[in-house]
Amino acid sequence: MTAITGKRLTLEEYLKYNDRTDSQYELMAGELVAMPPKSPKNVQISLFLLVNFLKFVPFNRLSNKAEIVVAGSRATTRIPDLVVLTDELTTALEGATRSTITLDMPPPALVIEVVSPGKANEDRDYRYKRSEYAARGIAEYWIVDPQINRVTVLTLVDGFYEETRFTGNTAIASTIFPEFQLTAEQVLNAGENNAVKRQTDEVI
């Protein structure tokens, strides 16, 4: 991640910022930071989750582009790998010119982050975003970590996250989306094993 400007921006300045490129930025304590492209593995996992949530969540309640303004003394925004909106938030975003979830809007139902390699990325997803998303009132936060083959589900209880860790063939349990029926291994492999098995079954 690389800081772009030499000064700290207000949220209003950030929302108006346009360098006429396809670069993606987050605002971290008022500092504009360029986000590096995601690895193919992370993209596959994110898309796999999106496809599987589409089985029981309406299309208009899912986004892999939404940014969330999180609470803090300085303006900070986050762009999760996948966001599941509530009905109330979907209504609040209707007609918006930008998929920005501001502080005066209801929080999302769920955010999912796929951890990229490196200590800085690990700290951001496990430490900083954990406290930011809890303060924002997001009911559930999933951390999908391909580096250690683990999915951590954080559930908001009395303002703090309680965590449950899932590995291997353990089915991921969500309190707000009990319809989700995949195991940690299926998510971390982005369904690749299932695809191989189907191909093998077809040959046999």
pLDDT of residue 198: 44
CA dist 95 and 92 (Å) reads 8
Walk along the chain (204 residues) in steps of 10 and give the mean pLDDT of each run: 65 85 86 87 96 97 95 83 97 93 96 95 95 96 97 97 97 96 96 52 45
User: Residue 85: is it exposed, middle or buried by C-beta count within 10 angstroms (0-12/13-18/19+)?
Assistant: buried
Q: How far apart are CA 55 and CA 181, in angstroms?
A: 11
Residue 99 CB burial class (10 angstroms; 0-12, 13-18, ≥19): middle
Q: What is the pTM assigned to this prediction?
A: 0.89
Reference 4, options 188, 13, 141, 100; nearest CA is 13
Provide the pLDDT for residue 203.
41
Which residues in 165-199 are b (16+ Cβ under 10 Å) and which e? ebeeeeebebeebeebebbbebbbbbbeeeeeeee
For residue 125, is it left (φ>0), alpha (ψ between -120 and 50) or beta? alpha
